[in-house]
Every structure is written in structure tokens, then in C-alpha cells.
Amino acid sequence: MTEKKFDYFINGEKDKWEVIIGLEVHAQVLSQSKLFSSSSTKFGSEPNTQVSLVDSGFPGMLPVINQFCIEQSIKTGLGLKAKINLNSVFDRKNYFYADLPQGYQISQYKNPIVGEGEVILDMPYGTKKIGIERLHLEQDAGKSIHDMDPENSFVDLNRSGVALMEIVSKPDLRSPQEVNFYIKKLRSIMRYLGTCDGNMQEGSLRADVNVSVRTVGDKKFGTRCEIKNVNSIKFMEMAIEYEANRQIQLLESGKIIDQETRLFDTKKNSTRSMRSKEDAHDYRYFPDPDLLPLNLDKDLIDKLKKELPELPDQKKERFIKEHNLSSYEANILVSEKEISDYYEEVIKGCDKKLATNWITVELFAVLNKKNLSIKQSPISAKNLSSLIKMITSGKISGKIAKDVFEKMQSDDKDPKQIVEKEGLLQQSDPKELEKIIVAVISKNQDKVAQYKSGKEKLFGYFVGEVMKASKGKANPQLVNEILKNKLH
Amino acid sequence: MNFLSSQRLLNKMSKISELSLTKIVNGIKKKDFSSEEVTKSFIDSSKKSKKLNTYITECFDEALEISKNFDKKKDYKGLLSGVPIAVKDLFCTKNVKTTAGSKILHNFIPTYESTVTSNLWSQGAFLLGKLNCDEFAMGSSNETSFFGNVKNPYGEKLVPGGSSGGSASALAAGLTPATIGTDTGGSIRQPASFTGTVGLKPTYGRCSRWGIVAFASSLDQAGPMTNSVEDSALLLQAMSGYDSKDSTSVNKKIENYSSNLTEKIKGLKIGIPKEYRVDKMPTEIDDLWKKGIEYLKDAGAIIKNISLEHTMYALPAYYIVAPAEASSNLARYDGVKYGHRAVGKNLIEMYENTRSEGFGNEVKRRILIGTYVLSSGYYDAYYLKAQKVRQLIKNDFDKAFKDVDAILTPSTPSSAFKIGDKSDDPVSMYLNDIFTVPVNLSGLPAISVPAGYDKNNLPLGLQLIGKAFDEQTILNLSLAIEKRANFKKNYSVWWT
């Protein structure tokens, strides 16, 4: 396989430009209750039905840390091969907004719970390491709704206080594609860990995208703009593309970039200014006096480390080493936890290479066609596994297997039953096969003579006739052997 | 009821409201009088006290009802069985208006009960009313309350101190058998000193802050205000305790303060910090301090001169830390969810109008100071520096407590001042807290016990500062002073 080379550069009027991207990903912690209260975090409930006195900022209410959310963020940190800080601090980020009932968000500023780590991306041009700057815990705000009434705005506090992990990357990303891979990898790691469901439609994963540009070869970073709150990978890619080009145009026409916060307009496919650096909030961060500094026990971290599941990178390595898969195949199989779970279920007692082919070619074709996720697969891993076992044990041929696979798609039927019911078992009895072959030979004496006189290509004709006579059920290998003997 | 018996009841009632909390609790238990009689007695004196302006909300009818039910059930198991108690209006009380002395909460009725008041009710007490205080507990004279200033029983023109001024005044005037306040920089001890009552600020973390309208979270602490040291021990025991709803609450065993209470303090070492001898301190304060030293010596204590060398930085540090926290704590009062809301063309204007109308000047001043000291570019110079000073002050105490068991100081640099005297001069007002503030910055327990009078016969208090979670020792030392000082209420009733 020829390795591609990284080639995402933008050609401006004058120069060739490189795009520098850093992401602040907000990942909702998978937990039953909120970061500082016992309210439920269930998505899609009636507005303001999951709100405690703490979440709504009533007088005298105090936050109490949810230990489970702490453990979830430690696990995520470990999954990012990051340093877990034994001492971290919750700070207040002060600003006024109607959906921020306390008038401040509890977050972590100077001392986050997780320090530097990394994420490995398998790009078409090789692996690339993306640095993680930090991960910190914070609470989400509520939701302001401006389009339900011409006069008034509504506030839904169900989200208020829900735990978020803010995962800040280093400015190591260089293209929309790398951002795409990075988000998917991050999401995959968190799904393996069970720390975030990564559901972008429900807002469980969203990102602020920092973009700057510099001419190729320049070592200095340019001035960056932050695109706030982008909630799909496609939009991130579009926003980066637009923003990079906007910045290049400005720079090439001799203007400068203002450091500012911008919004991505999905309808116009463009970004627009939200606020400049001068208008930036002064959040007046200070340690939240209602919460003691968070001091973690090293034993807890060791325990969580031991309990860590196998993560995509490790799994991939194992699949390559132990299952003899290519890096490409392994990547596909580990890309989502559900796919690797499916694969590992299928390979129980059957050929791994064959299983990989059936999953990544046949099954994925069906899923793509029907627009289904692997979790919604019409064929269960168990049934696919027994289909493959019938192939390797010679009970059915590969060709018959494809027919059976087609039939399995309705109601996830057991392939054994289909084969039995329809009499599709492969004919592997040498005596029976011999009878068919003898009959074919006696019917085609002229062709036999031609074959024997040197037209060896006719061998295929005899195989075809035998297969036809057996209605495709004859074991091709045995047919070959017997035919060769008979024709000598 | 004939004239004679009702007259006798009246006499008995007026006497009841002069009794100590402990005597009332015991009297109810021994059936010397009923809970109803006790309640009626305090309601009666409260009703006659409008001029003191101590109550923001009266719960007299409800209290009377509860007392009648109590007398039927006769459950004497609690430490405070059958006792009506009025509390500072900073404690959230379920279904009873809780204002924090502010217009912005003038119509706020909580659906929940603070942990500390819950503790009192589960010991058999019940709510008599909500007492006036400085707005959001910011003040030293009770002049910042939206509900008007409270007057001191010792003089119509005198402040009762603050911020728990309504509590102190009501207690001193016999309108409630005991009360609870909150102390962020002296808000229990200073008014106690001004009204000749006993006020204790427990160790930070001893009492839950859950359900108390927050002023400065790292300093706020609820505590008992009573007419005697014995009462203080009893009420402290009833109100304290670990609360999982307050992350800063400390899970430490609560001593039996009452039964451990003793004036036998022989051999205890008492520190006298030289830094508390401030410039321009009236000689009568110095004399009182000397008297306190004599009382304790007489009881067998050993007096030691000590140094708390960073004391002079405590007040400036406090007036950075407390407003900083307050500026953030008070952000929730924005007119969106509850409390006062003004109209505005848009969200920002609604905020501005609500907060301009809803907060008084002192609260605004502290929000401005707090916002300033936390703002970028000033954080390191003010807030961070103040936190470092705070640590140094803590270290001073830690060092001192290696050699002594408690520290004796005056509670305040003066007796109660006149209404209006300092209200235009915030700095001179803030100086009132000079002896009390270091204690809050260090989280230590301290008590103010009445120990004498100034030349105008106004009460003066002495402060005892204890080691963390050693409330017992300062209670015992206060008892020794109380016995020797023989302080008596010497005001004449002018408000009925």
C-alpha cells in the first residue's frame, strides 16, 4: 500500500498556508445525577422537571460533589494517557445570564483534575499524536429558549448543573480531516470507557474550535479565532474551512486578525463575530468557597486504572498481533466499541480473517444500504458466527453462504435452519460426487477427448457442469480432486 | 378567668420572659409552667416592643398553636422542648418569609428549612419569628436593613450592633428566650457585646451553612446568642452537627457542652495578645480587659503575654475576602427566579434595575469592592494577597496555641454607638470589627461574654478565642468570668 502524504494546505493569492487548530471539547459525563446535586440527567424530559434547589440557585443552597463524576473524569484522563492531578480545585466562573441561576458556573481553572495526555490518530498518511493540554470538570448551564414567544424568553434548567468534561487539545491539529478523526477517536475512547455517550445530536459532545493560519514553514502561530459551540463534525469541518480561508484573505490583503469569538452559521456556511477580545467577559475566577479542594487518593486512581477496559489502541494492537489482521482492518474493527464487541462475539470459535471480511464487506454493505448502526444490525453476531463456521467446516460453499446471508437479514434467522430447510448443505460425500462426475463425463465424451488432447482449459467446463448438476451444492475442492483423477 | 387569677398569670408571664433559656426548659419539664404560658409571655413582651423594630416577620399565632399541641403531647425528650425561639432572618424557614434584611428578598418564602433551624426544631423548639438584621448580614449597626434600623434596649438612640442586631436586641429585651445569629466578621459577638448578652461563634464547619442566606461562604458561621453562658452551651449543642449537604461542615463529635460546663479552669493558660492594644482605644476598654485578666487569675488561670503579629492586616484582608465572596454569592439575586424583579426593556436592563432597586448602599458597596478585587489584573494584588495574609493570621494563632489554651481580648473597641454616628463613614464602621475579624479568618471559635460597663453604664464584652473545635474551653472560661463579673441587665424599659 502506498502511503499518502499530508496535503492540507491552502493556496492563497500569494502564499501557501497551513491551518492550525486546537479544540475544546465539552463532553457530558455519563452519570445518573448532576455534578453537584442529585437531580436526574435524563435527556428529553419536560422542561424544568429535573431541577433541584441547588440547580436553580436558591438562597443558602450548597453544592456537594458527585463522586461518580469524579471517577468518570479520572477514567477519561487515564484513557487519554494523561496525568491525574491528586489535588485540584473548583473555581467559580462569574457571569450573568438568565440560564445561569447562581450567576456563576462552577468549573476548574488553574488546577484541573487531569493534566497533559495524548490521543493517537490513524491518518491515511500514518499515525499522528495529538497532545491533550488538560481535562477539567465543570457544570453545564441551563437553556434559554427565544423562539417560543414574541415577547418573552423561556428558560429550561434541566441541563443546569449537569457534569461536563472540558477536554482541551494542544494546537496540534492541521486539517478538517484531522479534526474529524480526532473527535471520532476521542468519542470512541470515551464510549469504550463508558464515560460519555458521545451523542452529538443530544448535545453530549460539542466543541469550541480555535483556528489560526500561518504560511508554510513559519514557526510562529498566527492570531487565533475561537468558533463557539459547534455540535457536529461536519459543521466543524465546514467552519474550519471557511474560517481559515477568511483569515488568509484578510492577511493577504494586508489586514490583521482580531482575536475574537465567532459563531458558525450553519445555514450560510460562514462564521461571524460574536464578541471581540475587548468585549471578552472578565470571569473573575476564584476558588469556590463552598467546596473544599479535591484531594484524590492514589489508591483510587490505581484501582480505576486496574479496572480500565481494553481501549481502541490496545485492542487494535492485539487484533494485529493475535488475529493476524492488517492495520487497516483492525482500525475499522476498533473504531467503535460496538463494532469490536460485535467482532469479538462473531469470532468465538471461528476463523478471524473470514469473520473480518464478512463484517467489513458484507455486513457493512447491508448496514450502509439500510443506514443502520451496528447495534441495529439485522443479523446478530451469533448467527453470523454460525454462518461462517458452516463455511469453514465445509457444510456450505461461499456462494451458498451469500444466499443464506441474504435470507438471514429478515428476522435475524438462524443460518442452520435456513440451510436445513432449503437443503443447501454442501455435497461433500466423495461417492455421491463421483456419481455426478461420472454422469457428466459420460455425457460429454467429445469434450473429454479434446481435454485429453491438450485443451486443459476445458477443466473449468466440467467443474461448471458438475456444480450445475449438484445445484451448486457440490464441494468445489472435492469436485476438483475427483475430476482430476477421472480425467487422467 | 377572674381578675385575680389573670393578674397572677400576667405576673407569672412577665417573669417567665425574664428567665434564662435553661430555666425555661427545666420549668417546662418540671411543669412549673406550660409551653403555652411561656410562648404567651414572649409574644406579650414582643408585641409591646414595636419601637425596638426587632421583628421582620412574627409567627405568634403559629407558635401559640404549636405550644398548645406541645402541652397536649408532653414530649420532653428534646434539649429545647416546648421553647419558642425567634431567629435571625438569614436562616431559611419553610413557608415563612426569609428576607435577609433586603428588599430583593422582601417577598421570598422558602420551601425548605435550614439545617441549623431544623436541628432546633427537632430538639423541641419552634419558631416565634424572624429577626431584623443588616442587609445580607453586611453591617455592624443594623442600619443597613431594608426594614429599618433596630434599636438597642440600652438606649433609644443607640445601635444594637450588627449584623445580628435584631437578634441581640430581642434577646436583651426579653422578647425571645434565646436566639441564633450568624457571624462572618463579628456579627454575633459585636452585637452581644453591645447588648450585654452572650454570643458565640463556633469553629468554622461546626454548624451547617445549608439553608443560611450566604454572605461570605468561607467565613459565615451560625452560632447561639443567649442571656447566659449556661444557655450558650445548651443552644450550641442543639444547633451544631455534621451535615452532608454542606461540604465544609466537619464530621466531629459534638461534646455535651452543658454537662461538661465548669468554672474550674485552674491551670489553663490564657494568652493576652499585645497587638490588640490598639491606638485610641478608650481606657475603659483597657480597664475591662485588665479586669478580665484578674477574673481569670482569680479562677486559677495562668496569664501569658503573646504576640499575634499579623493582626493589623486582618481587617484589610477581611474587607477583600468577604466582599469578593459576597459579590459572587449575591449574583443569584437577579430577578429571574424569585424575589424582587424590576421591569426592563431587555435582560440586561432588567438585571440593572432589579439590582439597583433591590440592594441597599452597603451591599452595593461590597459587591463593587468584591468585583474589583477579583477582576483580572487586580486578583493577584488583592484577593490572592489577602488569602496569603489570611494564612499568616492562621499561622499566628497556631503558633500561639502551642503555648496557651485560649486567648482573651476585648470584644469591641467601644460600647454601642449612636444611630447615624458611623453610617456615613464606612471605614470607621468597619473598624468596629477589628477584634472579631481575625477569628473568622482563622476559622476559630470565639465567644463574647458581658463583663462590665463603660462610663455611661453601657455593657461591654470580653472575647475568648479558643482552639479549633474546642468550644468547651472558652465556654468554661466565660463561665468563670460571668460568675465574677456579676453582670446584670441595667437598662430601664423605654419601649413599651
CA-based nearest residue in chain A for residue B250: A292
CA-based nearest residue in chain B for residue A93: B328
pLDDT reported for residue A314: 95
CA-based nearest residue in chain A for residue B209: A60
pLDDT reported for residue A326: 92
Q: Which of A461, A463, A464 is nearest to A480 (CA)?
A: A463
pLDDT reported for residue A138: 98
Partner B contacted by A125 (CB < 8 A): no
What's at B180, amino acid-wise?
Answer: I
Q: Is the pLDDT of residue A324 over 80?
A: yes
ipTM, 2 dp:
0.95
Q: Is the pLDDT of residue B424 over 70?
A: yes
In A, which residues are within 8 Å of B245 by CB distance? 62, 64
In B, which residues are within 8 Å of A282 by CB distance? 375-376
At A448, is the pLDDT very low, low, confident or very high (cuts 50, 70, 90)?
Answer: confident
Interval B175-199 mean pLDDT: 98
Q: Which residue is catalytic, options B17, B35, B118, B163?
A: B163
At B1, is the pLDDT very low, low, confident or very high (cuts 50, 70, 90)?
Answer: very low
Better-predicted residue by pLDDT, A477 or B263: B263
Interval B270-288 mean pLDDT: 92
Distance to chain B for A290, nearest Cα, Å = 6
Partner B contacted by A104 (CB < 8 A): yes
A96–B351 CB contact, under 8 Å: yes
Partner B contacted by A301 (CB < 8 A): no
pLDDT, tens digit, 9 for 90 and up, residues A12-46: 999 999 999 999 999 999 999 999 999 999 998 99
B68 is catalytic: no
Domains of chain A by residue range:
10-304, 310-421, 430-487
Of chain B, the percentage scoring pLDDT greater than 90 comes to: 93
pLDDT reported for residue B7: 55
pLDDT reported for residue A284: 97
- For residues A439 and B65, give the distance between their C-alpha atoms in angstroms, rounded to a whole number: 110
Contact B243, B116 (CB under 8 A): no
In A, which residues are within 8 Å of B376 by CB distance? 282, 284
Partner B contacted by A222 (CB < 8 A): no
pLDDT reported for residue B34: 96
- For residues B131 and B150, give the distance between their C-alpha atoms in angstroms, rounded to a whole number: 10
At A485, is the pLDDT very low, low, confident or very high (cuts 50, 70, 90)?
Answer: confident
B336–A101 CB contact, under 8 Å: yes
C-alpha cell at B237: 449543642
- For residues B396 and A192, give the distance between their C-alpha atoms in angstroms, rounded to a whole number: 52
In B, which residues are within 8 Å of A290 by CB distance? 214, 217, 247-248
pLDDT, tens digit, 9 for 90 and up, residues B211-247: 999 999 999 999 999 999 999 999 999 999 999 999 9
Poorest-pLDDT segment among A386-400, B35-49, B265-279: A386-400
B187 is catalytic: yes
Poorest-pLDDT segment among A26-35, A159-168, A324-333: A324-333
Q: Which residue is catalytic, options B187, B193, B228, B478?
A: B187
A59–B110 CB contact, under 8 Å: yes
B269-273 vs B406-410, strand pairing mode: parallel
Does the A430-487 domain belong in CATH 1.10.10.10? Answer: no
pLDDT, tens digit, 9 for 90 and up, residues A68-94: 999 999 999 999 999 999 999 999 999
Of chain A, the percentage scoring pLDDT greater than 90 comes to: 73
A94–B331 CB contact, under 8 Å: yes
Q: Which residue is catalytic, options B41, B46, B49, B88?
A: B88
pLDDT, tens digit, 9 for 90 and up, residues A197-209: 999 999 999 999 9
pLDDT reported for residue A422: 79
SS (H, E, C) A114-172: ECCEEEEEEECCEEEEEEEEEEEEEECCCEEECCCCCCCCEEECCCCCCEEEEEEECCC
In A, which residues are within 8 Å of B105 by CB distance? 59
**Is A216 exposed, middle or buried (CB count within 10 Å of its CB: 0-12, 13-18, 19+)?**
exposed
pLDDT reported for residue A426: 78
pLDDT reported for residue A275: 84
B210–A59 CB contact, under 8 Å: no
A289 → closest Cβ in B211, B218, B334: B218
CA-based nearest residue in chain A for residue B332: A102
pLDDT, tens digit, 9 for 90 and up, residues A49-66: 999 999 999 999 999 999
pLDDT, tens digit, 9 for 90 and up, residues A283-313: 999 999 999 999 999 999 999 999 999 999 9
pLDDT, tens digit, 9 for 90 and up, residues B312-323: 999 999 999 999
Distance to chain B for A276, nearest Cα, Å = 17
At A413, is the pLDDT very low, low, confident or very high (cuts 50, 70, 90)?
Answer: confident
C-alpha cell at A417: 435452519
Partner B contacted by A146 (CB < 8 A): no
A57–B114 CB contact, under 8 Å: no
Distance to chain A for B211, nearest Cα, Å = 4
For residue B411, which phi and psi values (nearest 5 degrees)? -80, -35
Interval B298-307 mean pLDDT: 98
Given its phi and psi angles, is residue B335 left (phi above 0), alpha (psi -120 to 50 degrees) or beta? left
B198-201 vs B446-453, strand pairing mode: antiparallel
pLDDT reported for residue B139: 95
Q: What angle (nearest 5°) sits at the alpha carbon of residue B19, between those of residues B16 and B21?
A: 110
Q: Is the pLDDT of residue A471 over 90?
A: no
In A, which residues are within 8 Å of B248 by CB distance? 289-292
In A, which residues are within 8 Å of B347 by CB distance? 97-98, 153
Instruction: Sheet containing A91-94: give its strands across.
Output: A104-107, A91-94, A286-287
At B169, is the pLDDT very low, low, confident or very high (cuts 50, 70, 90)?
Answer: very high
A289 → closest Cβ in B100, B212, B217: B217
B67 is catalytic: no
CA-to-CA dists, residue B183 to B190, B225, B440, angstroms: 9, 11, 8
At A221, is the pLDDT very low, low, confident or very high (cuts 50, 70, 90)?
Answer: very high
| Candidates A52, A62, A96, partner chain B, best to mutate (most B CBs within 10 A) | A62
Distance to chain A for B365, nearest Cα, Å = 17
- Rounded to the nearest integer, the mean pLDDT of chain B is 95
Interval B458-481 mean pLDDT: 98
| Candidates B105, B208, B337, B369, partner chain A, best to mutate (most A CBs within 10 A) | B337
A102–B331 CB contact, under 8 Å: yes
Q: Which residues contact B466 (CB under 8 A, 6 or more apart)?
A: B203, B405, B406, B444, B445, B446, B447, B473, B474
The DSSP-derived string for B189-226 is HHHHHHHT-EEEEPPTTSS--TTBPPS-TTT-EEEEEE
Instruction: Write down the CATH number for the domain with range B3-242+250-316+383-485.
Output: 3.90.1300.10
pLDDT reported for residue A342: 95
For residue B459, which phi and psi values (nearest 5 degrees)? -65, 150
In A, which residues are within 8 Å of B112 by CB distance? 53, 58
Residues of B with CB under 8 A from a CB of A: 92, 98, 100, 105, 108, 110-112, 114, 209-214, 216-218, 244-248, 324-325, 327-328, 330-332, 334, 336-338, 347, 351, 371, 374-376, 379, 383
For residue B427, which phi and psi values (nearest 5 degrees)? -65, -45
pLDDT reported for residue B10: 55
Interval A388-393 mean pLDDT: 89
Q: Which of B452, B474, B469 is nearest to B461 (CA)?
A: B452
A59–B105 CB contact, under 8 Å: yes
- For residues A84 and B185, give the distance between their C-alpha atoms in angstroms, rounded to a whole number: 38
- Helix, strand, coil percent content, chain A, rounded in steps of 5: 40, 20, 40
- For residues A301 and A295, give the distance between their C-alpha atoms in angstroms, rounded to a whole number: 12
In B, which residues are within 8 Å of A278 by CB distance? none
Interval B473-493 mean pLDDT: 96
In A, which residues are within 8 Å of B210 by CB distance? 60-62
